[in-house]
Structure 1
Amino acid sequence: MEFTAFRDLKPFSQLFFAAFVVVASILIFFVLSLVVAIPIWGFNTVLNLPAINSETPLNIINLYKFIQVVQAIGFFIVPPFILGYLFHGQSNEYLYLNKSFNSQSVILVVAMMFFAAPAINLIGELNSNMSFPEWLSGVEEWMRNAEQNAADITEAFLNVKTIGGLAFNVFMIALLPAVGEELLFRGVVQNIFSKMTRSHHWGIWISAILFSALHMQFYGFVPRVLLGALFGYLLVWSGSIWLPIIAHFMNNAIAVIAMYFINNGLMNPQYEEIGSTGDSYYMAGISLALTFVFLMMLKRQNAGKEIPI
C-alpha cells in the first residue's frame, strides 16, 4: 500500500515539513556518528573536539572529516529521497534523477565550469573586500572570525600529500556536496519555491540565496548565490538534475585538485587567484563572457526539455 498522506500538501506546508525532515535526519545521523566515533577516537576527544590550527594532529583532522561526511549524508543525501517519496511517490522522478542528458551537454558543462573559474575568483575577491559601517563593526568582526574558522578547517582538510588523500578529498569536498546539495536545494527547495511563487526565476534565486546563506561564509556569499542560480537554470532548462550535479562537482573538484598541486609544490599559488588580481582582470572578463556563451549553448542544446511549472 502506498503512503499518500503528504502528496496533497500545499507548497508552504511542504517547506515546513521538509525543514522538519532535514532537522530530524541531522539529529539521527549525529547520534549515529557519536556511536561510531566514540569507540574509535575516544569519549573525551569526541565530546571536547578541539579547534583546528596549524598544529592539529592528523587523527583529529580525520575525526573532523568523518563528521563532515556523516553530516553531508544526514543533511543533504537522505532527506531529499524521503521527501521525494512522501511528496510524489517516486523519489527519482521527483528529484529529476530519471531524466536523460546527452554527452554534448556534459562537455559544455565541464568546459563552462573550467572557464568560469577566473570570473568566480574576481567576484569572490570583490565580495571579500566588503566592509560595514562603524556601528556594525561587531557584526563584521563576528563574520570575519567565522570566515577564518571555516578557512582554517578547509585548509587542514586540503593539506594532503598522497593520491589517496586527494581522492578522499574529491569525494568529501566535491562529490558529496555536489550530489547532496543539488538534491536538496535544486531538487526539493527550488521545486517548492517555484510552485509557491509559480515562477522558476523566483524559485531559482530564492533557493540560491538560501544555498549560499547555509554555508555561513559571508565573504563568499555573492559568488555562491550566482553559482546556485547557475545550477538552478541548468536544472530548469535541461529537466535533469545530473547537469547541475556535474557543474557543482566540477566547480569543487577544480579547487580541490588545484590546492593539492599547490600544497605539493606542483603549481604556482598565483594560479589559484587568476582573475582576481589587477594584472588578470581581463581574464575574468573573458571568463564571464565565455560562461554566458556556454550557458546559452546549453539552453539551446536542451530546448524542449524545460521543466513546466
Structure 2
Amino acid sequence: RYQSTDLKKFFRLNKPKGEQIVWAIIGVFSLSQALQVVVTLQEKIPLPKELQSLIDTFKQMMEEMFKSLVTAHTFPELLFVIFVVAIVPSICEEILFRGLVQQNLERGLGTKRGFIITGILFGAYHLNPFLIIPLCVLGIYFSFLVAQSGSIWVSIAAHFVNNFLAALAVYLNLGDDFLVAGKPEELSMSELFGTSVVAVIVFATSTYYFLKSTKEQIA
C-alpha cells in the first residue's frame, strides 16, 4: 500500500480536472500550429547552395523515415499507426521524461529549471536537428502542464493528441506539416503571419484558462 501510494505521488498519477485536459489539448494544437509557421519560415532562410543541398538531402531522409512509420493505407493500418506513434510514445515518453527525469530535476534544481531542462532534453532525445527548437518548446510545454497541474495525465493527453493529429494528417494526405490555413509552402508571408497570430492568441487564451483551473502555482 505504501509503495503504490509513493509511486502514485512520484509519477504524479493524480486525477486531473476535465477542463485542464481540454485546455491542454487546445494549447498543444495551437502551439503546434504556431511552431509549424516557425519551421516554414526557417526553411525560407537563404543558405549557400552546397549547404542547402546537404540539408535538403538529410531532411528528405528524415521525412521519408517518418512517413514510413506513419503512412497507413487502410483504417486498420491507421489504428496500428496510432497505437505505435501516438499511444505508446505518449505514455512511455511521458513516464520517462515527466515522471522520472522531471521529478528528479525539480527536486535538485527547483520546479522552473527542472521542467525547462526536462523539456530541452525531450527535444534533444528525438534526434531531429531540423525540429530541435519546436520539439524543445513542445517538451517544455508538456513539462509545464505537469508541474502546474500536478498530474502526468494532462501531458499524456496533450502528447497523444499532438502525435495523433500528425498521423491523421498524413493518412488524409494533408502532410505532417499541416496548417489549418492550408499547405505551408503555398501560403504567402501575410497568411503565415496571420496564422501565427491567431495560433498565439488561442494558445495564450488556453494557457490563461489552464492556469486559472489549477490551484497550485509554480514556485
Offset, 1:294: 0.5
User: Is the Cα contact below 8 Å between 2:106 and 2:112 reproduced in 1?
Assistant: yes
Structure 2 Cα separation of the partners of residues 275 and 202 of structure 1:
39
CA shift for structure 1 position 92: 2.9
State yes or no: 1:92 paired with 2:4: no
Q: Is the 8 A contact 1:274 1:280 kept in 2?
A: no
Matched residues in 1 for 2:88 and 2:112: separation? 26
Match of 1:294 among 189, 206, 213: 206
The 3 A distance-change label for structure 1 pair 182 and 145 is: farther
Partner of 1:22: none
> Unaligned stretches of 5+ in structure 2?
none
Kindly provide the CA deviation profile for residues 193-222 of structure 1, in whole angstroms up to 9, marking residues without a partner as x. 22222x211111211111111111011011
1:232 maps to 2:139:
no
For 2:132, give the aligned amino acid.
F
Within 2, Cα distance between the matches of 1:288 and 1:268? 14
Q: Is the 8 A contact 1:258 1:272 kept in 2?
A: no
Tell me the equivalent position of 2:132: 221
Question: Which residue in the other structure is 1:168 paired with?
Answer: 80
Mapping for residues 74-85 of structure 1, pairs under 5 Å: none
Map 1:168-187 to 2 at 5 A: 168-187=80-99
Opposite residue 192 of structure 1, the aligned amino acid is N
**Aligned AA (2:75):** I
SS in 2 for 1:250: helix
Using the alignment, how far apart are the partners of 1:182 and 1:297 within structure 2? 23
- Alpha-carbon shift at residue 175 of structure 1 (Å): 1.3
CA shift, 1:242, in A, is 0.4
Cα deviation 1:55-89 (Å, max 9, x = unaligned)? xxxxxxxxxxxxxxxxxxxxxxxxxxxxxx7xx98
1:118 touches 1:274 (CA, 8 Å); kept in 2?
A: no
Structure showing greater radius of gyration is 1
Distance 1:269 1:234, change over 3 A: closer
Alignment deviations for residues 138-187 of structure 1 (CA, whole Å, 9 cap, x no partner)? xx94x765543331111122222111111111111111111111111111
Q: CA deviation at 1:223?
A: 0.7
Q: Deviations over 1:273-295 (max 9, x none)?
A: 39975223201111012112211
Name the CA distance, whole Å, in 2 between partners of 1:247 and 1:258: 17
Q: Is the 8 A contact 2:119 2:137 kept in 1?
A: yes
Which residue does 2:25 correspond to in 1?
110
Q: One-letter code of the match for 1:255?
A: A
How many angstroms apart in 1 are the aligned matches of 2:124 and 2:101?
Answer: 14
Kept after mapping to 2: 8 A contact 1:231/1:247: yes
Distance in structure 1 (CA, Å) of the matches to 2:48 and 2:118: 28
AA at the equivalent of 1:121:
Q
Q: Aligned partners of 1:254 and 1:170: how far apart in 2? A: 9
What is the RMSD computed on CA atoms of the aligned residues? 3.4
Alpha-carbon offset, residue 127 of structure 1: 4.3
Structure 2: distance between partners of 1:275 and 1:114: 21
Show the 5 A alignment for 1:143-292: 146-197=58-109, 199-262=110-173, 271=182, 273=184, 278=189, 279-292=191-204
Q: Is the 8 A contact 1:122 1:276 kept in 2?
A: no
Question: Quick one: structure 1 residues 277 and 128, their matched pair in 2 at CA, closer, same or farther if it must change by over 3 Å?
Answer: same
Q: Distance in 2 between matches of 1:268 and 1:119?
A: 9
Residue 111 (structure 1) shift:
2.2
Superposed displacement of residue 114, structure 1: 3.0
Unpaired runs of 5+ residues, structure 1, are: 3-84
| Superposition misfits of 4+ residues, deviation over 6 angstroms | 130-134, 267-270
For residues 284 and 116 of structure 1, the distance between their equivalents in structure 2, rounded to whole angstroms, comes to: 9
Q: Distance in 2 between matches of 1:195 and 1:131?
A: 44
- Secondary structure, in 3 states, of the residue corresponding to 1:271? coil
User: TM-score, normalization: structure 1?
Assistant: 0.60
